[in-house]
Structure 1
């Protein structure tokens, strides 16, 4: 089977990898591969540390995808000869003040009820693990099974592997036959690319002939800083709560750190100076040594968020599947999302999880509207 995949972020590329592994051919269409949210993402694989109240089925999805990550990484290495930067160092969630500690400890009850690893630590125990932590932190929780991957390494490896299958153009329209089944896509140059199946992994992008997905842009500002020469400033992911605001530091193998991330819905795609200052101030409250780091990069990207934070994975017509709306969980959910999407594309029996990511769970996204648009 030949499949068009529109969008070359980590979701589109992971889906191409999954389908290719199953013996299918792919054409990946994107004018700027890997330059969207995947380029900014820190790559925390943190089902425990990311746990928040009221997310229901999402908890199980995050945990299931996290468990499949070692196999996902090994399979990429096996076909490409290159190993993504996957680190199994744990995550330390740190509270700056007593009120932050209370919020942190309230979550531990939920985390453990979900079968996730979360161990309360005294400030002294946390500093024994990470000596660079501030002496006046109020407490911490150790999440042993929360790891990290550098999304840029995954995207780079898969783009190299699929280099001959890339079309560096914008997909502007899906083409349907008289039975309302997608049979091809049209690119910005007017090229018609036919396929038995088409998958839209377009994040916030829209394509003529398909109802826009019920997603909204949530912007995040992210900094990349370089640690001073010598031993690494921190060896684990440090996630912090400072005055009830979240901040994180993700150490990379080269001694750099990813510092993020703001959450903005102001429609501004540019870096926000106030948000950047706030991130630095909160991170310095937890790890004072970042004042000695140098600045490598500041970047802002929009995440495609849904109202319930769960992605949109579903069949739109007999030849068209959608896989988008991963909010801030796109990297973590890549193995699971690509598997579910590939199963749908192959018309395999539906996983029970698909009902939780069905695009039609939102009333504004209906098959009636799709039919009206195509008529």
Structure 2
């Protein structure tokens, strides 16, 4: 039996690390359990803090939460400054481009929704877009600017969080297999090697693997949504290739390019649910093809890395976030799909507020983890 702690966090992706750090800095003893932190979806994430350009049809209910989380990011980043690891937070906005008439109309329709919610998204001329980003190619025929969007490097943020949690808490390189329960109270976590971690509060934040835990009191019906993502290095002669994040619709296909301060560009991302975690040749071709339509110089970059990772999606594409009615000592924070990085500060603050006994904020009830049914009682 491991020593008892205030909080056991199952899962060391960006959300789990964020929750663990928030709990540590608010005075709790914490053990984070993960055999290989930040190697799953976090490693592939592009790091766009983009509540405006990430707004999707029929997901408008997420906007209040994503906006709240984006506002929390500056202070969240500042709290980690002592680690000495710069997460690359940049307030540069997003340029959104269209190639053909259908793309322009789709973006115009989206802008109508964005404007109705008070988001800072404006239509600009392609000429103005090229003044900001001279590398934009001649195929672009429409442009929008999302001024509230920011970005960071999730790998560096994860490294900073890992360093912070390790310095002031415990990170256990192990795999959780089950919740330890005493009636209607969760009292810790059982590990695959037979050990246990006793805790006053247990927070399940291990993405797709959350549904594999036994003794869960709720159903967590998640599905893997795979995505191919590329990292390209910009030759010195072309630096800086871009200063803004550039997103676009290219004949109906979405693509984005996120520039990094280290001279690389993140290019992504496909969305497929074919059950394969292997890199898709067709997906890589599509990304390179469409990115070159927006920024032709992409053809001159060095291909440095190709990854495929699975994002944890739920049946309604909304997170599973909060406590479970009738069960003490347990919080769930998983199923974040595309928004894991974006929602990390808000999810972390909410979880620590709840374990301190604060009431559920308005609007969060719709993300109740038990909305798909009960699990093992």
TM-score bracket for the superposition, by shorter chain length: over 0.9
Equivalent position of 1:239 in the other structure: 247
| Bigger shift: residues 346-355 or 99-108 | 346-355
Normalized against structure 1, the TM-score is what?
Answer: 0.94
1:352 to 338, 362, 367: 362
Deviation of the 1:361 alpha carbon: 2.7
Equivalent position of 1:166 in the other structure: 171
The CA deviation string for residues 16-70 of structure 1, in whole angstroms up to 9 with x for no partner, is 1111111001000001111111110000011111112221320111111111111
Equivalent position of 1:337 in the other structure: 347
Equivalent position of 2:95 in the other structure: 92
1:227 to 234, 254, 257: 234
Deviation of the 1:212 alpha carbon: 4.5
Deviation of the 1:278 alpha carbon: 0.5
1:111 matches 2:121 = no
1:176 matches 2:186 = no
Deviation of the 1:360 alpha carbon: 2.5
1:56 to 22, 38, 60: 60
For residues 62 and 307 of structure 1, what CA distance do their matches in structure 2 show? 19
Equivalent position of 1:189 in the other structure: 193
1:198-209 to 2 correspondence within 5 Å?
198-205=202-209, 206-209=212-215
The CA deviation string for residues 177-220 of structure 1, in whole angstroms up to 9 with x for no partner, is 1x231112111211111010100001000211114412111001
The CA deviation string for residues 132-168 of structure 1, in whole angstroms up to 9 with x for no partner, is 0112311110011101011101111111222361111
Kindly indicate whether the alpha-carbon contact (under 8 Å) linking 1:77 and 1:84 is maintained by their aligned counterparts in 2. Answer: no
1:40 matches 2:50 = no
Query: How large is the Cα RMSD of the aligned pairs?
Result: 1.3
Kindly indicate whether the alpha-carbon contact (under 8 Å) linking 1:340 and 1:354 is maintained by their aligned counterparts in 2. Answer: no
User: Which sections of structure 1, spanning at least 5 residues, go unmatched?
Assistant: none
For residues 114 and 214 of structure 1, what CA distance do their matches in structure 2 show? 30
1:142 matches 2:145 = yes
| Bigger shift: residues 157-166 or 335-344 | 157-166
Equivalent position of 1:21 in the other structure: 25
1:248 to 246, 253, 256: 256
Counterpart of 2:345 in 1: which secondary structure?
A: helix
1:254-333 to 2 correspondence within 5 Å?
254-316=262-324, 317-333=327-343
For residues 297 and 128 of structure 1, what CA distance do their matches in structure 2 show? 30
For residues 219 and 315 of structure 2, what CA distance do their matches in structure 1 show? 15
Kindly indicate whether the alpha-carbon contact (under 8 Å) linking 2:46 and 2:154 is maintained by their aligned counterparts in 1. Answer: yes
Kindly indicate whether the alpha-carbon contact (under 8 Å) linking 1:91 and 1:146 is maintained by their aligned counterparts in 2. Answer: yes
| Bigger shift: residues 209-218 or 61-70 | 209-218
Normalized against structure 2, the TM-score is what?
Answer: 0.94
For residues 307 and 105 of structure 1, what CA distance do their matches in structure 2 show? 28
Kindly indicate whether the alpha-carbon contact (under 8 Å) linking 2:24 and 2:165 is maintained by their aligned counterparts in 1. Answer: no
Number of positions where the alignment pairs a residue of Structure 1 with one of Structure 2: 365
The CA deviation string for residues 238-276 of structure 1, in whole angstroms up to 9 with x for no partner, is 001011110000000011000000001000011111111
User: Which sections of structure 2, spanning at least 5 residues, go unmatched?
Assistant: none
For residues 10 and 322 of structure 1, what CA distance do their matches in structure 2 show? 15
Deviation of the 1:277 alpha carbon: 0.5
